[in-house]
Amino acid sequence: MPDKTLAGGKQMNLIRHWALGLMSLCLLGSLSCRCSDPTPPTDEQRLTQRLDCSQVHFYLAIKSALADAGTDPSVQASRKRLAELVQTWDQVKTGETEEDSASEISLTEVLQLGRAVWKLKKVGARLARGEMGQDLPPVLPGLLGEGGAAAVSAWYDAPTEHALLFTVMSVLKAHPKAPLPITDEILLYEAMQCEPAKTKFPSLAVALHGLKAWQYGMNDFCDLAAKEAAAAQQTLVDPVAVRGELTRLIPAAERIQDADLQAMASGFRAAGHGGVALCHLSRGDDGAARPSIKRFIDETKKTGLVDAELDFLQAFYDCGDKSSVEAGKALLTQLEQRDPKPDGLALLAQYCSATDESRSGLARKLNLTARMLKLSLKKSSESELAQSDHELIKTAAGFAGVCEKLAGTVDTIGGAADSAKSAVKGLFKKITE
């Protein structure tokens, strides 16, 4: 007779093998689904990842050196030299210094300063990742001297400095005649740190939200741009409060009329909507861009501008929809009869006659970024706000200029170290394979 115990054991082993096989298939199927359909990262996650880079680490190292040079002699000497360069940046930029001036800086000195600040790169990395537990104290008042620092101490703090640096950097980068090539990651860092409601200038929130939306949109963070543009749209402007806060930095602000302040607010709202629109257009999603283009046009019209570039955008918008394409073509005809004519009319004519499939490529050739930026900020640039010579604003501009100049040393100073690290990682990988 067969051994029932042995037969039963074989049957149990067979069941175990089937169960293990089934579990393995389920596990592999689960992993396969997760790999093929990952949850896309949010804009906030993408932004945090992008800002964890050498340029931001180095920028925060510069800030750290200015806030507290510590005991390292080379860092202390660099802090003093950095302060001199920031204070005289306006003269360097305009070429008003003499050859032996303390504001002159050679490539050799740039590299020397960069190497000294590089010692604080780890501190900068920890600050960028939020591992320090607190923000750095403001650094700009310390560059003003005792008298200047005392004059702003009552209304100046770290959130206000983030807002000021973000605004000044945005303006410098977008300057129509002499733009400063501020590194996108540095500008995005200050944008992320800028919280309008926490500054000492809460009445200027509409401007900050609008500028943040523009910068996020220009860097492919469409969701963040939309959030900031919506905040700018919903923020009401109190002309009395705006004048009261602005006069701390710009005495001439007290003469600006209510209507002009409202028009400038519309300009910043327009910039925000423009950032959202351009973000979607850069992705080839014209449909998602259309609502923001419409809002941009509506807010720009509220500024009181009568400009051929605005009619150009209106024609572009109308030609993007079958129901209004004829109105767009009619406006295009009017533009062709103007003197001077706006640039790009031939391309716009192609866009208005194109099929839906070929329009996206043409839209990216129409230089909409420059057109929208020029229109949205035109009202502000024409006002007395653009003529501020407050020492704090000039210092913020100098700080931005010096940081950008030193940021160019990141690849030179850090490149060799990064290459060495990559080589070590490659060697380690070969050893462990």
Q: Taking the model in full, what pTM does it have?
A: 0.80
pLDDT computed for residue 419 by the predictor: 41
Residue 359 pLDDT = 76
3-class state of residue 42 by DSSP: coil
* pLDDT given at position 361: 78
Whole-number pLDDT of residue 189: 95
Give residue 103's pLDDT.
44
Compute mean pLDDT per 10 residues along the chain, 433 residues long, and list them. Answer: 53 55 48 58 95 89 77 70 72 45 56 69 83 80 75 86 92 75 92 94 94 96 97 94 88 86 92 94 89 95 88 93 92 88 89 79 83 78 62 83 73 46 35 29
Residue 385: the pLDDT is 56
Cα distances (angstroms) measured from residue 404 to each of 90, 122, 135: 14, 19, 21
| Cis before 138? omega within 30 | no
Name the residue with tokens 């600006």.
256
Alpha helices in 247-320 (DSSP H): 258-282, 286-302, 308-319
Give the pLDDT of residue 430: 34
Helical H runs in 320-386?
325-336, 345-353, 356-363, 368-382
Cis before residue 196, ω within 30 degrees of 0? no
DSSP string, 303-315: TT---HHHHHHHH
pLDDT score for 422: 41
pLDDT of residue 386: 58
- Is 145 in contact with 137 (CB distance < 8 Å)? no
